[in-house]
Structure 1
Amino acid sequence: MTESLQPSQPPTARFMAGLMIGVGLIAVGIMFFMLLRAVPVKVDYAAPDLDLVDLSGKDVSLDDYLGSVVLVNLWATWCPPCREEMPTLQTFYEKYKDDGFVLLAIDQEETREVVEPFINEFGLTFPVWLDIDYLAQREFKTMNLPSSYVIDREGRVRLMWIGGISKRNLEKYVPDLIKE
């Protein structure tokens, strides 16, 4: 009796094909995630009560900025996307600071001695606050860095970003709030 042998793929070829499909799916997922996180989410809720200290050790409060449009940026010096977005944030701040726009950069769990060299390296001129105990992350209910929130003049959070902010998206979404 003669058996008909069907050509079959060697196990290595099947493994490699499956691996390539898996890698492709992961790559598509990462690209999809990156695209989603670059765009702000429109929200509408009251800004949290947030009292911290600035680089000089002075007590500061988010309530002090009612009447301004405030972009709160949660970040840390060790965070690569935080480093990448700082020049963009500085440029945007310089462009709109005379229009009632404030950028508050709230460093998470680092000391003044760690933060000041970073501020000097990037030539940052917007207010920087220290948050040794992650209070801002708890109040804004996030665990991600960077995370940013745009608060309107009445104290309502209107936009939320998880991940780095691009110049394109800042210019597309924030100026309309500044003009309100």
Structure 2
Amino acid sequence: MLRIKQVLIIALFAHGALFTMPASALSDMNDKPTTFDSLVSKGKWTVMEVWASDCPMCRASIHHTIDFQVSNPDVTVVGVSLDGAEGKADAEKFIDEYGLTFPNVLSNPSEIDQYLYTTAKESFIGTPTFVVYNPEGKLLAVQPGAVTEEELSAFIKKQDKPAS
């Protein structure tokens, strides 16, 4: 009986070792590891768009993010491609095709899901998803689905209004 318990304990530890959380997959487009916290500007609003190169809605709506960036140069805009390291070529093609000039990083769906759950107690639903931080670096909104330039601008303007 003792031998069975020992085998079970060893099996449980071995099972846990096989399924440990991988190191962060988040990297910049030059394969340099990065963190979500480092993407958030302190002292400026930050809008993060989570996208994928094979997402039809991302392709149809990316122009809103581009327009927002042009109209709001004082806001940091960052793209998070869920194509991952293995889909880097697809992400680069998307960036080139749409002329994205804001920084983009590579991640994957499980990593963004873990990040959103940890920071906002929300699950990742799909792409595109917008994540908005105030100038103090506080997460204020997680919005799945396409968002227009006007909607992003209005949200930030409303948050910037002094409380009455």
Number of aligned residue pairs:
129
Distance 1:153 1:163 in 2: 23
Which residue number corresponds to residue 66 of structure 1? 42
Give the superposition deviation at 1:179: 7.8
With structure 2 as the length reference, what TM-score do the two structures score? 0.69
Structure 2: 5+ residue runs without aligned partners?
A: 1-23, 117-122
Structure 1: 5+ residue runs without aligned partners?
A: 1-49
Tell me the percent identity: 23
Which residue number corresponds to residue 19 of structure 1? none
Per residue, is there more strand in 1 or in 2? 1
Give the superposition deviation at 1:132: 3.6
Distance 2:91 2:161 in 1: 32
SS of aligned partner of 2:70: helix
Contact conserved, 1:151 with 1:159, CA < 8 A, in 2? yes
Distance 1:115 1:179 in 2: 37
Give the superposition deviation at 1:164: 0.6
Deviates more, 1:137-146 or 1:120-129: 137-146
SS of aligned partner of 1:114: helix
Give the superposition deviation at 1:61: 2.6
Superposed, 1:12-161 pairs within 5 Å as: 52-64=26-38, 65-97=41-73, 99=74, 101-110=75-84, 111-132=87-108, 134-140=110-116, 141-161=123-143
With structure 1 as the length reference, what TM-score do the two structures score? 0.63
SS of aligned partner of 2:154: helix
Superimposed CA distance per residue, residues 90-127 of structure 1 (whole angstroms, 9 cap, x where no aligned partner):
11112212x2x111111113422111111111000011
1:168 aligns with 2:144: no
Task: Output the amino acid matched with 1:163.
Answer: G
* Deviant stretches of 4+, over 4 Å: 176-180
Contact conserved, 2:49 with 2:80, CA < 8 A, in 1? yes
Distance 1:105 1:117 in 2: 14
Distance 2:141 2:29 in 1: 26
SS of aligned partner of 1:129: strand
Contact conserved, 1:75 with 1:147, CA < 8 A, in 2? yes
SS of aligned partner of 2:79: strand
Give the superposition deviation at 1:173: 1.1
Distance 1:136 1:93, change over 3 A: same
Q: Which structure's CA Rg is the greater one?
A: 1
Give the superposition deviation at 1:146: 1.2
Contact conserved, 1:51 with 1:62, CA < 8 A, in 2? no
Distance 1:176 1:61, change over 3 A: farther
Give the superposition deviation at 1:167: 2.5
